[in-house]
Chains A and B, each alone.
Chain A
Amino acid sequence: VSRPAIFARIRNTCQALRHRGRWEGELEAELRSHVEHRAADLVRTGLPPESAERQARVELGAREAYKEQCRGAHGLRWPDELRQDLHYAVRILRHSPGFTAVALLSLALGIGVNTTVFSVINALLLRPLAVASPGDLYFVQTNQFPTNSFPNYRDLRDRNSTFSALAAYRQAPMGLAAGGGAQRIWGYLATGNYFDTLGIRPALGRFFHAEDDRQPGASPFVVLSHACWHDRFGADPRIAGKTVRINSLPYTVLGVAPPGFHGTELFFWPEVWVPMAMQPQIEGRSWLEERGTSNALVVGRLRRGVTPRRAEEDLNAIIADLARDFPIWNQGLKLTLAQPGLVGDALRNPARAFTGGVMALAALVLLTACANLASLLSARAADRDRELAIRLSIGAGRARIARQLVAESLLLSLAGGAVGCGLAAAVLRLLSRWHAPLDFPVRFEVGADGRVFAFALTVAMLTGLLFSIAPLRQVARADVNHALKGLPSATSRVRRWAARDLLLAVQVVLCCVLVTASFVALRGLARSLATPLGFEPRGVAVAGFELGLAGYGEEDGRTFQRRALAAAAGLPGVSAAAYADSVPLSIDQSTTVVFRQDAVDFRAAEAKKAAYYQVSPGYFQAMGTRLLAGRDFTWHDDRTAPPVAVVNAVFARQVIGTSAAVGSRFRRGRNRPLVEIIGVVEDGKYVSLTEAARPALFLPIVQSYNSETMLIVRSQIPASEMALQLRGTVARLDPRLPVHGTGSLAQMLGFAFFPARAATLALGVFGLLAIMLAATGIYGLAAYSVSRRVREIGIRVAVGARPRQVLRFVLGRTILLLAVGSVVGLALGLAASRVLASVVYLASPRDPFVLPATAFTMVLIGLGAALPPARRALDIDPVRALRQE
């Protein structure tokens, strides 16, 4: 049969289904018409009308059977039976509301959790950027940084033969004046070909192009994001051509980006795009000509038919040439392509490991729910032996009954899936609404799309099929004679180990694994919260400002910084105050290369890298960083004094080679002056909580100016209150200066703690769900075992069994299963440490706390779940029990 014919038939069937009443009416009318015609003919042969009518009916034959055949011939039998099955399933489920509620809840939780996690993975790793044909867009990263130096980018762009376009961009803070005072916003510096590379069309006006980005400083243009245009400019339809001020300079608005477009990083939502040629005006210090500064993120579109592999070879051939011309910076450099959206592999790899681990654990939750349901269903199936036997004996086929049971399971799982989707949608809405506790435009758009719903549907169907296996086995083995005689069938005989015992054990094992995981995660979080940070965030308030945004130069900038510090230090309750360009574990981190005093090889590959901060005198006191040796900076360590630095202990050991480093010297490059170490401070965390101990370098900001300023104040007053005072103080000194990042220092660190917190929350929720599911499972089985054996218990009590014996008789097996399952689960949970290590920092399964805590929890679950059935067993009155039945 050809394909169109099949579609025609399906359409035909569907039409009949839609107008089912009319269809049946016509079938009936057609048969009636037949009988009438026949009867009329018979009358013509001389029969009296009544007997002619009867005769015609007889000749037609088994009318109902033919009608049924007609329905079958029209493709209606299958949907008809499905409808009957579902009808029956609804009735059965309505009949046992307790079971249905428990089953729905387990499924909703299991599927909801998995849908949520999948949604996050979808948003993070699967969904492409909102650009034209995202498939051939690649991020160009190096083996040293995710970024490239701008001169290298230029050479790659001009010499490659494998990319149709190669663009560079960089996030940068800017001071945007629209209407009132200047606001600090985040934008992109982007090369002229940026929008053309991505294939984006403006919602309004135009974008800038390559010819708008040729002369340094000569292209004061800006493109607004849709949100920025909407929120800051009231969606002004004539915005194109108007002038706004950025960092006190006039810029012409060219156009507005389309609503869904937010640059080339998934979680970063810039408000404006400015041509890269304006970089010196935006950031103050130009790195466009520095081969040693890797600040440009590079993204490119492959030519048609070029493989990523060939493009990598092409780029690396160019880099090899560059390494001959500029060996210091380019020797040992290797480029690779990565998917864009998460700073190349820099964020993608950890994100993949993290979400993969969480997904695996979520799948365990769902498996627990499945085991739970399967054991509930098979217990029910045992009770339904008689019903099944009756249906079999009156001629229902086993296949039909099996399909009936599968329909029941699928109905349950689809309903559970629907509720689960609802739950997931609620959680995702919360997640999407979450904003980073900073002046940083981070947003997680993790809403569900078609792919997520397809996932949920698939999971629900698979779940339904999975947990209908147990009852199906029951049908296959149902023994009609046995069951009708009122005997328990072979499968439900109580003394034998049944499949549901195994299922309970599986539940206990899975629950135990998840509980272990939650405890390991909780301990990991506790430990990472207690990790020495190298400073004491409690009691510290901060406020940041970028002097460049208000048009300050170096001289008046220095003066302003000193005045602001004096004003802050003079606030009541302040015990220490300082300023710096940035603080550890905030988002803004810088790295510098350092060389020993006697170094002769200054290639980048040979250098040590150190986190570096420019700080004022008093910084260590304000931050609570302990000075191990030497002295702090003073106001005399200024431009006229010899260059000095404070380093951390790792720097002293790794760069200088001795912990007694005070007085030693190092330099930051060939032809750079020697710097003398005047103090050594304790080690800390600088970029992330999970990093290994690394060198850090503190330079006096008085000696080397930086317009990015963060005021740091330690006081007894609550930090939130102090932060407001700081903001007020700066505003009084210069109302035009946008202040950002005001808050407690602990708040600023929220970003660094986010992964650990998220993981602990997720694992905690999984653990709780698993506990709930296992408790229901244990309770269900124990209660079932008591209710099946009321009579037997009655007899035992009547002949003198003591409560302890009764308990052992009823619950012995449950307890045994619980114990064995817990031991196995604990062992598995500890063995799964590698998965956990990817999810939770500092997760150690060898923690002495985890084992007893998990064991204790499992005992609690067992007691809580088995207590009500145990009480019921003890309360059985032998007289009444024996009179029953």
Chain B
Amino acid sequence: MSRAADLLPGTLDLLILKALSLGPQHGYGVLLRIEQISGNRFQIEQGALYPALYRLEHQGLLEAEWGTSENNRRAKYYRLTAAGRRRFAEETAGWQRLVAAMSAALAARAGEVG
């Protein structure tokens, strides 16, 4: 099934952090990387990436620097800061706890409910 899922609120930030945890990247590169690691399962409007990047940068989780991209174009490269790395770890752990809790809850059967 290849139906693209809408992103849950807040998950775009986590995906951006994940994408950048793999190494510095410019905006378009972040987009490609998210598509790649998620197997194209998320529908992201391309422009929506930028407010999220700006927000994370403003929060001090990312820092940016202008550089030259692989095909010789100027591009703004983002990288995780120490705070960003910490936040990524926390968010990942939080997300996994949530998933585990939700899965357990959804897997409950009638017999297990007193």
Contacts of A75 in B (CB 8 A): 58
8 A Cβ contacts from A16-42 to B = 26, 29-31, 33-34, 36-38, 40
8 A Cβ contacts from A32-82 to B = 33-34, 36-38, 40, 59-63, 65-66, 69-70, 72-75
Contacts of A40 in B (CB 8 A): 71, 73
Q: By the criterion of a CB under 8 Å from any partner CB, how many residues of chain A are at the interface?
A: 28
Q: Judge if A435 is at the interface, Cβ distance under 8 Å.
A: no
Q: Judge if B24 is at the interface, Cβ distance under 8 Å.
A: no
Residue of A nearest to B76 (CB): A30
Q: Check B54–A5 contact: CB distance below 8 A.
A: no
Q: Judge if A692 is at the interface, Cβ distance under 8 Å.
A: no
8 A Cβ contacts from B13-72 to A = 26-29, 45-48, 50-52, 54-55, 57-60, 66, 69, 71
Q: Check B76–A37 contact: CB distance below 8 A.
A: no
Contacts of B46 in A (CB 8 A): 34, 38, 59-61
Q: Judge if A600 is at the interface, Cβ distance under 8 Å.
A: no
Q: Judge if A87 is at the interface, Cβ distance under 8 Å.
A: no
For the complex formed, measure the closest distance between the CB of A476 and the CB atoms of chain B, giving whole angstroms: 33
For the complex formed, measure the closest distance between the CB of B20 and the CB atoms of chain A, giving whole angstroms: 15
Q: Check A73–B27 contact: CB distance below 8 A.
A: no
Contacts of B28 in A (CB 8 A): 33-34, 37-38
User: Which of these, A9, A30, A34, contacts B60 with CB under 8 Å?
Assistant: A9
For the complex formed, measure the closest distance between the CB of A619 and the CB atoms of chain B, giving whole angstroms: 86
Q: Judge if A530 is at the interface, Cβ distance under 8 Å.
A: no
Q: By the criterion of a CB under 8 Å from any partner CB, how many residues of chain B are at the interface?
A: 24
Given A37-B69, A61-B45, A75-B58: A70 and B50 interface contact (C-beta under 8 Å): yes
8 A Cβ contacts from B65-97 to A = 66, 69, 71, 73-76
Contacts of A31 in B (CB 8 A): 47, 50
Contacts of A641 in B (CB 8 A): none
Contacts of A481 in B (CB 8 A): none
Q: Check B47–A9 contact: CB distance below 8 A.
A: no
How far, in whole Å, are A841 and B51 apart by their CA atoms in the complex?
70
Q: Judge if A394 is at the interface, Cβ distance under 8 Å.
A: no
How far, in whole Å, are A245 and B47 apart by their CA atoms in the complex?
89
Q: Check A33–B75 contact: CB distance below 8 A.
A: yes
User: Which of these, B50, B66, B75, contacts A37 with CB under 8 Å?
Assistant: B75
Given A37-B28, A38-B28, A70-B54: A63 and B47 interface contact (C-beta under 8 Å): yes
Most-contacted residue by chain B among A12, A37, A61 (CB, 10 A)? A37
User: Which of these, A5, A9, A72, contacts B51 with CB under 8 Å?
Assistant: A72
Contacts of A70 in B (CB 8 A): 50-51, 54
How far, in whole Å, are A29 and B66 apart by their CA atoms in the complex?
10
Q: Check B51–A34 contact: CB distance below 8 A.
A: no
How far, in whole Å, are A72 and B58 apart by their CA atoms in the complex?
10
Contacts of A13 in B (CB 8 A): 58
Q: Check B54–A74 contact: CB distance below 8 A.
A: yes
Contacts of B69 in A (CB 8 A): 33, 37
Residue of B nearest to A33 (CB): B75
For the complex formed, measure the closest distance between the CB of A17 and the CB atoms of chain B, giving whole angstroms: 13
Q: Check A9–B26 contact: CB distance below 8 A.
A: no
Q: Judge if A799 is at the interface, Cβ distance under 8 Å.
A: no
Contacts of B66 in A (CB 8 A): 26
How far, in whole Å, are A70 and B75 apart by their CA atoms in the complex?
17
Q: Interface code A155-191, partner B: CB below 8 Å = 1, 0 otherwise?
A: 0000000000000000000000000000000000000
Q: Check B73–A12 contact: CB distance below 8 A.
A: no
For the complex formed, measure the closest distance between the CB of B13 and the CB atoms of chain A, giving whole angstroms: 11
Given A30-B27, A40-B71: A5 and B47 interface contact (C-beta under 8 Å): no
Q: Check A62–B47 contact: CB distance below 8 A.
A: yes
Given A61-B48, A66-B48, A66-B50: A12 and B58 interface contact (C-beta under 8 Å): yes
Contacts of A72 in B (CB 8 A): 51
Q: Check A66–B47 contact: CB distance below 8 A.
A: yes
How far, in whole Å, are A36 and B52 apart by their CA atoms in the complex?
20
Given A34-B27, A34-B46, A69-B51: A29 and B74 interface contact (C-beta under 8 Å): yes
Q: Check B74–A74 contact: CB distance below 8 A.
A: no
Contacts of A36 in B (CB 8 A): 73
Residue of B nearest to A13 (CB): B58
For the complex formed, measure the closest distance between the CB of A13 and the CB atoms of chain B, giving whole angstroms: 8
Q: Check B60–A66 contact: CB distance below 8 A.
A: no
How far, in whole Å, are A60 and B48 apart by their CA atoms in the complex?
8
Residue of A nearest to B70 (CB): A37
How far, in whole Å, are A34 and B74 apart by their CA atoms in the complex?
10
For the complex formed, measure the closest distance between the CB of A604 and the CB atoms of chain B, giving whole angstroms: 75
Residue of A nearest to B55 (CB): A73
8 A Cβ contacts from A292-326 to B = none
Q: Check A5–B27 contact: CB distance below 8 A.
A: no
For the complex formed, measure the closest distance between the CB of B32 and the CB atoms of chain A, giving whole angstroms: 8
A-B contact pairs, 24 of them (CB 8 A): A8-B60, A9-B58, A9-B60, A12-B58, A29-B76, A33-B26, A33-B27, A33-B28, A33-B69, A33-B73, A33-B74, A33-B76, A34-B28, A34-B50, A37-B29, A37-B73, A37-B75, A38-B46, A40-B71, A62-B47, A66-B47, A69-B51, A69-B54, A70-B54
- Interface residues of chain B, those whose CB is within 8 Å of chain A, are 26-29, 45-48, 50-52, 54-55, 57-60, 66, 69, 71, 73-76
The 5 closest A-B pairs by CB, nearest first: A69-B51, A61-B47, A73-B55, A73-B54, A66-B47
